């Protein structure tokens, strides 16, 4: 009798597991999510009409791990902060490659981090510039991109804008790198990974440049709107963890940033 009851219990448990999916499998498919990224190489960018970047390839690897590979056409690269505004508006969306800040912590659901990124001040290696506080850059000319996070940091520090040298447009970062290389500006405020990538891309010598001050250090994540379920985000996190443990993410990074550039 006891044996029969035990068998009935096992049948009941098996039946419920088979017809009632777990929260992760009951939630959305990755194909239902609208993926967005801001134009910020080497994390996300368009080159030769194709979407590229570290986070783009990480996303593709995650989708394969989840056994639902995404096509390149499922990702949109947007200029400026349009991606953030779109994510804030709601819907089943994800903006990736963005910094997780205290201000945004409760607004979205997060998966990551994928990488750390420092916002730094870069000088020529041969210069005698030494910065031990942000206030010390008042007497030098600093190159900035309008509306870049580096500009926001410096403006919040009450530094006079007269000492800023601005660059605009799609080639703004390269223009500032070139200006620094030629001695037209003293410092370049930018993300260090992005600066390294650009130095590599333009075939310049990374040893000709040095980081003299760290303005801010951030971690880059996948941010999902609150309309995306916790179940899906949890499943996404597990897939991301798996490819990180397999060394897939590290391999992607080496594709974009060589070990020599990492010594920058």
Can you read off the two tokens belonging to residue 68? 């639902």
Residue 258 has a pLDDT of 64
Q: Are 88 and 107 in contact (CB under 8 A)?
A: yes
- 60 within some domain: yes
What does pTM read for this prediction?
0.80
Can you read off the two tokens belonging to residue 114? 């994928």
Residue 262 has a pLDDT of 47
Whether 56 and 123 map to the same domain: the answer is no
Interatomic CA distance for residues 231 and 233, integer angstroms? 6
Count up the domains in the chain and report the number.
2
Residue 67 has a pLDDT of 96
Whether 245 and 177 map to the same domain: the answer is no
Whether 127 and 58 map to the same domain: the answer is no
Whether 111 and 122 map to the same domain: the answer is no
Residue 39 has a pLDDT of 86
- 2 within some domain: no
Angle at 43 between CA 242 and CA 135, to 5 degrees: 120
- 9 within some domain: no
- 92 within some domain: yes
Whether 213 and 139 map to the same domain: the answer is yes
Write the pLDDT tens digit of every residue in 54-71. 999 999 999 999 999 998
Whether 250 and 134 map to the same domain: the answer is no
Q: Which residues are CB-neighbours of 199 under 8 A, at least 6 positions away?
A: 177, 205, 206, 209, 261, 264
- 33 within some domain: yes
Whether 157 and 233 map to the same domain: the answer is no
Residue 148 has a pLDDT of 86
Whether 123 and 189 map to the same domain: the answer is yes
CATH code of 105's domain: 3.40.190.10
- 200 within some domain: yes
Q: Is 257 exposed, middle or buried (0-12, 13-18, 19+ CB in 10 A)?
A: middle
Whether 26 and 110 map to the same domain: the answer is yes
Write the pLDDT tens digit of every residue in 29-42. 999 999 999 888 99
Give me the sign of the Cα torsion angle 177, 113, 218, 108: positive
pLDDT under 70 in the chain at which residues?
1-27, 258-264
Whether 101 and 231 map to the same domain: the answer is yes
Residue 190's domain spans which residues? 118-218
- 10 within some domain: no
- 11 within some domain: no
Whether 71 and 86 map to the same domain: the answer is yes
Q: In what order do the strands lie in the sheet with 75-78?
A: 75-78, 34-38, 93-99, 209-224, 109-124, 187-191, 142-145, 164-167
Whether 178 and 231 map to the same domain: the answer is no
Residue 101 has a pLDDT of 85
């Amino acid at each position: 009798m006891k044996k029969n009851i035990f068998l009935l219990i096992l049948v009941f448990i098996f039946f419920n597991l088979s017809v009632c999916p777990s929260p992760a499998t009951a939630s959305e498919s990755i194909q239902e999510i609208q993926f967005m990224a801001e134009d910020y190489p080497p994390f996300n960018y368009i080159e030769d009409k194709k979407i590229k970047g570290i986070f783009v390839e990480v996303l593709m690897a995650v989708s394969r791990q989840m056994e639902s590979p995404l096509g390149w056409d499922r990702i949109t690269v947007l200029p400026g902060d349009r991606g953030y505004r779109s994510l804030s508006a709601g819907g089943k969306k994800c903006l990736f490659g963005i910094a997780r800040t205290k201000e945004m912590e409760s607004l979205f659901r997060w998966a990551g981090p994928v990488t750390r990124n420092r916002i730094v001040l870069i000088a020529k290696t041969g210069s005698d510039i030494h910065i031990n506080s942000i206030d010390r850059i008042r007497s030098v000319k600093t190159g900035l991109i309008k509306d870049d996070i580096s500009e926001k940091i410096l403006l919040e520090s009450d530094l006079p804008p007269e000492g800023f040298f601005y660059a605009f447009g799609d080639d703004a970062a390269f223009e500032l790198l070139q200006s620094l290389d030629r001695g037209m500006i003293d410092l370049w405020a930018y993300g260090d990974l992005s600066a390294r990538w650009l130095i590599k891309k333009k075939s310049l010598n990374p040893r000709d440049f040095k980081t003299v001050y760290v303005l801010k250090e951030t971690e880059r994540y996948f941010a999902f709107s609150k309309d995306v379920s916790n179940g899906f985000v949890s499943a996404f996190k597990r897939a991301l963890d798996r490819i990180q443990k397999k060394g897939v993410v590290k391999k992607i990074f080496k594709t974009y940033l060589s070990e020599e550039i990492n010594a920058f």
